[in-house]
Amino acid sequence: MIKIKFCGISHIEDAIVASNYADLIGVVTDPISPRFVKPEFIDIVKNFVNKPVVNVKVKGKINDIVNESKAEYVQIHRVLDMEEIEDILSYNKKFILYVPSSEKYYSYFKTIVNKTNHLILIDSEKKGEKVNLEVSKIWIKEYDKVGIGGGITLNNIEEFLSLNPYWIDISSGIEKYKSKKDHDKMIRIAEKVKEWKSIL
């Protein structure tokens, strides 16, 4: 079954619902985000959930991000330079590495695939825009750990599932308002993913 990451969790009650319906729980600890919470929130969340937590960060040194919480995964939501890619190889930590969905990042995508064994997240080049599905379709076929995010909602999720990604990543599409999750949307999205498996 296609795995689910519910991201941008900033309330304990949302984390509990995410834990019941998703495989990964994303918490954004970068002040750039309207869903920002302090890294300490992750350590609190971990007392209430039984699924791995992902610390999502855009800026900052990799070493600082790795050590700032007890999250099982670190998602670096920016394009890394070569030195940083080499650096992540030295950590005994699970990473999610963001690749913008544009042909111009194909060689970057291949570098990550060839050098690391981590999960990849294909997302839109600019936050708030929809991911490029044509590019994503090709890359998903090339590497088995590719997930897709970027504008997934209850109304368009089938388009994403039809690409057969390893996992999907959803944040704004399951919100009531910015930073607060809509539990009904979370449950309905999870049901759609489950039903999708039974169609195949």
Point out which residues bind ligand LGQLAAA5 (CB under 6 A).
7-8, 26, 28, 30, 32-33, 35, 56, 58, 77, 123, 149-152, 169-173
Tokens of 80: 């890394």
Tokens of 166: 């390893």
User: Taking the complex as a whole, how short is the minimal distance between the CB of residue 83 and ligand LGQLAAA5, in angstroms?
Assistant: 22
Q: 113 vs 151, which CB is nearer to ligand LGQLAAA5?
A: 151
User: Taking the complex as a whole, how short is the minimal distance between the CB of residue 157 and ligand LGQLAAA5, in angstroms?
Assistant: 11
User: Taking the complex as a whole, how short is the minimal distance between the CB of residue 130 and ligand LGQLAAA5, in angstroms?
Assistant: 8
User: Taking the complex as a whole, how short is the minimal distance between the CB of residue 169 and ligand LGQLAAA5, in angstroms?
Assistant: 4
Tokens of 116: 């690391």
Answer left, alpha or beta for residue 179, where phi above 0 means left and psi between -120 and 50 means alpha. left
Which whole-number Å values give the CA distances from 159 to 2, 4, 39, 141, 200, in the listed order? 13, 15, 33, 15, 15
Q: 97 vs 114, which CB is nearer to ligand LGQLAAA5?
A: 97
Q: Which helix (H) or strand (E) holds 197?
A: helix 183-199
Q: 32 vs 86, which CB is nearer to ligand LGQLAAA5?
A: 32
Chain mean position to CA 160:
14
Q: 38 vs 86, which CB is nearer to ligand LGQLAAA5?
A: 38
Return the ∠ at Cα 189 (arms to 194 and 105), rounded to 5°: 95
Taking the chain, what is the end-to-end CA distance rounded to the nearest angstrom?
Answer: 10
For residue 55, which phi and psi values (nearest 5 degrees)? Answer: -90, 115
Q: 32 vs 82, which CB is nearer to ligand LGQLAAA5?
A: 32
User: Taking the complex as a whole, how short is the minimal distance between the CB of residue 173 and ligand LGQLAAA5, in angstroms?
Assistant: 5
Tokens of 150: 């970027």
